[in-house]
Chains A and B, each alone.
Chain A
Amino acid sequence: MVDAKKYPAPVTNPETAAFWDAAKESKFMIKRCTACGEAHYFPRSICPFCYSDKTVWEEASGEGTIYTWSLMRKSPTGPYAIGYVTLKEGPSVQTNFVDCDLEKLKIGQKVKVVFKPTDGAPLPFFTPA
């Protein structure tokens, strides 16, 4: 089943290491620009909207709603549902939905973050709230 799936460990790099360090404590981080106020995901050092380097880490609520999804019926590791979640804080993030009936996902459904282990830092996924 999908939960037994082995996920690849993030490679990480100096720009994103803080995200993965926080993930080890089950904290889901986003970046916010203190110059323009916009939050973004995945995290960059330079704000993709105003190009300021005044971006700071912020712990997100981990709550959001399903923007869209698609259930991949067959794969070498079994079925999985990919989608985008629009976080309470604004940005939409690509993810997989886990620990639920994948055929009953709905656009607009409330979901929350859960972390799954890898051989390195854990990876964020979403499950119905």
Chain B
Amino acid sequence: MTIKGKAYIAGIYEHPTRHAPDKSTAQLHAEVARGAIEDAGISKDDIDAYFCAGDAPGGAWPMVDYLGLNTKKLRHVDSTETGGCSYIIHLGHAAEAIAAGKCSIALITLAGKPRTGAMPPRAAGAEADFESAYGATTHNAYGMCAMRHMHDYGTTSEQLAWIKVAASHHAQYNPHAMLKDVVTVEDVLNSPMISDPLHRMDCCVVSDGGGALIVTTPEIAKSLKKPLVRLIGHGEAMKGPRGGKDLDLTYSAGIWSGPRAFEEAGITPKDIKYASIYDSFTITVLMQLEDLGFCKKGEGGKFVADGNLISGVGKLPFNTDGGGLCSNHPVNRGGMTKILEAVRQLRGEAHPKVQVKNCDLAIAHGTGGLLGVRHAASTAILERV
């Protein structure tokens, strides 16, 4: 049993807003849902599956009601919550449900407003008494990974900076990007230290906004008007300190989710024409590229240097919308926008300045939670048909 080719992404929508103090979070979910439904050219009442994560106010049942989904037809729901990569996991789960005949048109939404106001805290885990007082945040949890990666492999701040430089080259063409200025390695190194060894420009933006997907069967997708993009491989995985045994913060759960996805797709990293890689921080990208097999462990620094991730310049164009580092990071969760830009590339709908020629195979990969503490990862391999 495989999901290879069993599900197509028929509709996508990214909210253009980056700051939405005048809207409710539920409203943003409805706006992105409507956008994806219109992009696909389907009717809201045809949707028979709904997927959402922790950003959906109240969870699945209040959202299904608020969104006015057709409850006579709705027969599959999934509120898997794995932080920023939730939506990549949802995509795989939607494909599984479609392959099993449990649904035929799935809606996945993400939306929220962390730029307008603080997000509600996550429920405490069993570790809370032994960790919460130490103030693990995204910045320092990823800083701890970067510090150890530098120690073990000689990775440098200059190499990490190239990831931001590449993102900024792409963001200049995205009218919605929060940071449109092209930056240099020196700019990144001269930006203030936030949590050693990560500078401000090693960090992604904080933005309001959201995005949505419509996932459907091959038959329905072929009856619609959009270019055909299908899921051919998917993987998901989790990693944590495991009781403190053999702690190694230089790799992520992507080391497991990636090979699972590539094996299912029957391709290798060399076949990938475009990569959407979650860029919560520059170190996130570097570690994921290694873990997914684009280069050997420890060689990520060399791989990303000298513009290798810039579309039209390097060997692996990445995050051509500007990514989380420059464009947006709705709800502090980058998984959705990673899928959206990968679909745009496969459809040929990316900005002409960054569109990858003959882009037929793309990867969308994300992590969720804290890379330096405990996290999830998910990998999707997408093909233009």
Which residues on A are within 8 Å of B, measured CB to CB? 7-8, 10-13, 16, 20, 38, 40-42, 44, 48-49, 67-75, 80, 82-84, 86-87, 90-96, 107, 118, 123
Residues of B contacting A16 in the complex (Cβ-Cβ under 8 angstroms): 129-130
Of B126, B129, B147, B243, chain A has the most CB atoms within 10 Å of the CB of B243
| A75 CA to B147 CA, complexed, in Å | 20
Residues of B contacting A49 in the complex (Cβ-Cβ under 8 angstroms): 243, 245
Residues of A contacting B225 in the complex (Cβ-Cβ under 8 angstroms): none
Asked if B330 is at the interface of the complex by the 8 Å CB criterion, the answer is no
Asked whether B134 lies within 8 Å of A41 as measured between CB atoms, the reply is no
Asked whether B241 lies within 8 Å of A94 as measured between CB atoms, the reply is yes
Asked if B22 is at the interface of the complex by the 8 Å CB criterion, the answer is no
Asked whether A11 lies within 8 Å of B243 as measured between CB atoms, the reply is no
Asked if B182 is at the interface of the complex by the 8 Å CB criterion, the answer is no
Asked whether A90 lies within 8 Å of B245 as measured between CB atoms, the reply is yes
Residues of A contacting B132 in the complex (Cβ-Cβ under 8 angstroms): 8
Residues of A contacting B144 in the complex (Cβ-Cβ under 8 angstroms): 68-70, 82-84
Of B128, B197, B198, chain A has the most CB atoms within 10 Å of the CB of B128
| A42 CA to B131 CA, complexed, in Å | 9
Asked whether B195 lies within 8 Å of A71 as measured between CB atoms, the reply is yes
A1 to chain B, nearest CB (A): 15
B165 to chain A, nearest CB (A): 23
Residues of A contacting B139 in the complex (Cβ-Cβ under 8 angstroms): 70, 72
Of A10, A20, A73, A91, the contact of B192 (CB 8 Å cutoff) = A73
Of B128, B134, B136, chain A has the most CB atoms within 10 Å of the CB of B134
Of A48, A75, A86, A87, the contact of B135 (CB 8 Å cutoff) = A75
A13 to B, closest residue via Cβ: B129
B199 to chain A, nearest CB (A): 10
Of B128, B136, B143, the contact of A11 (CB 8 Å cutoff) = B128
Top 8 A-B pairs, shortest CB-CB distance: A91-B244, A40-B243, A70-B143, A42-B130, A92-B247, A68-B148, A10-B129, A70-B140
